Amino acid sequence: MRIPLSAPDISEAEIESVVRVLRGRQLSLGPALATFEKTVANYLGVPHAVALNSGTSALHLCVRGLEIREADEVILPSFTFIAVANAVRYERATPVFVDIEPRTLNLDANKIEAAITPRTRAIIAVHTFGVPAEMDAIIDIAQRHNLFVIEDACEAIGAEYHGQKVGSIGHAGALAFYPNKQITTGEGGMLITRNPALATRVEALRNHGRIADNPRHRELGYNYRISDINCALGIAQMGRIDEILARRAEVARKYDAQLRGLPELVLPPLELPGIEISWFVYLVRLADRFTEADRDRLVLALGHRGIATGKYFAPIHRQHVYRNFEIRHPLPITEQVSTRTLALPFFNRISDDEIAEVCQTLARSLQEVARS
């Protein structure tokens, strides 16, 4: 594609940071790991951050570290990346899907309590596309029902909910640093918590259940380590995170300005009360009169013109691997939204000319699809 859906922003500072590690003596479990963890913890205002090899690993260790087990239930949205539900299933617990609300596309707090049963142990609040979930309501429900709150902030580093960085609000949070994220380590993730016992346990779990340099392994663990090479890249990216997030917000505003007049589209909100969005993607929705087939034709039309787009998200409950799962609660908003979403090219170094080309091509393609 001439204009990709996403692209990492790597500067000379990142390259130099990685080269320093390569010229050193430790490529794993070394000083860059500790520095990266401390840098992210300080940025989020939390005492503990444990770096891992992926956001999926972070979600899994949130679940395992909080001792959520077989026969337990965890409430989460279906309109999100499949890793969230998979992390629950890794521990043989049961994902219970609850619908989203239509403006932010986050878990609808008003529908959570109807899904709580005596087996419910946790709520996973996903900050979808970098927009914080309604954490006050979610925390209130969790406290009244004695539930854990896990924050999936994999798409939302730097986002704020009433002055608090997301990932730092619940019992544990997960970040991800895949190349399409706001900052990247190539592959990588991080578990965030204020609980020192949980942090210590997760540090062991990521390294086969081994505590620090002790040769004994106290429990079944995993190889979820992240190399110092990846951490070095993350350290340099964190040094530019304010600049990166500001640039992504600027790109979102440029899209909004050029697409605002198209009646065929529902645009994402640029601002929400008490919320600081961390822009992961720029996602538009087709108006109600369009179908999933129309959206798919639009994807092909833009693709033929060299413009990549993304269909975020196919709901988890519609995935083949979840075909036998019981859907206990209706998911009308999830079903409606997921068939008409379209992510546009969105990355730090996208040019104004590329944004203009995407918008103009999208407008023409919408007219073509509407006539067909």
Distance in angstroms (rounded) separating the CA atoms of residues 26 and 32: 9
The model's pLDDT over 246-268, given as tens digits with 9 standing for 90+, comes to: 999 999 999 999 999 999 999 99
Tens of pLDDT, residues 164-202: 999 999 999 999 999 999 999 999 999 999 999 999 999
Catalytic site residue 181? yes
Residue 216's pLDDT is what? 82
| Structure confidence at residue 211 (pLDDT) | 80
Residue 128 pLDDT > 80: yes
Angle at 124 between CA 285 and CA 227, to 5 degrees: 95
**Mean local confidence (pLDDT), 340-344:** 98
Whole-prediction pTM: 0.97
Q: Which residues contact 273 (CB under 8 A, 6 or more apart)?
A: none
Domains 12-98+106-238 and 241-371 are alike in CATH topology: no
Architecture of domain 12-98+106-238: 3-Layer(aba) Sandwich (3.40)
**Domain ranges (residues) in the chain:** 12-98+106-238, 241-371
Residue 71's alpha-carbon distances to 29, 88, 159, 292, 358, in angstroms, are 35, 11, 33, 36, 48
Q: Which of 118-127, 141-150, 316-325 has the lowest mean pLDDT?
A: 316-325
> CA-CA distance, 336 to 353, in Å (whole number)?
33
Alpha-carbon distance of 80 to 174, in angstroms, equals 14
Output the pLDDT for position 212: 73
Element of type H or E holding 22? helix 12-22
CATH classification number, 241-371, choose in 3.40.640.10, 3.40.50.20, 3.40.50.1100, 3.90.1150.10: 3.90.1150.10
- State the Cα–Cα distance between residues 116 and 142, nearest whole angstrom: 10
**pLDDT, average across residues 10-30:** 97
pLDDT tens, residue by residue, 200-219 = 999 999 999 998 777 788 89
User: Of 38, 111, 165, 181, which is the active-site residue?
Assistant: 181
Using the predicted structure, report yes or no on whether residue 134 has a pLDDT greater than 90. yes
For residue range 283-325, list pLDDT tens digits in order: 999 999 999 999 999 999 999 999 999 999 999 999 999 988 9
Specify whether the CB–CB gap between 76 and 96 falls below 8 A.
Answer: yes
CB count in 10 Å sphere of residue 111: 17
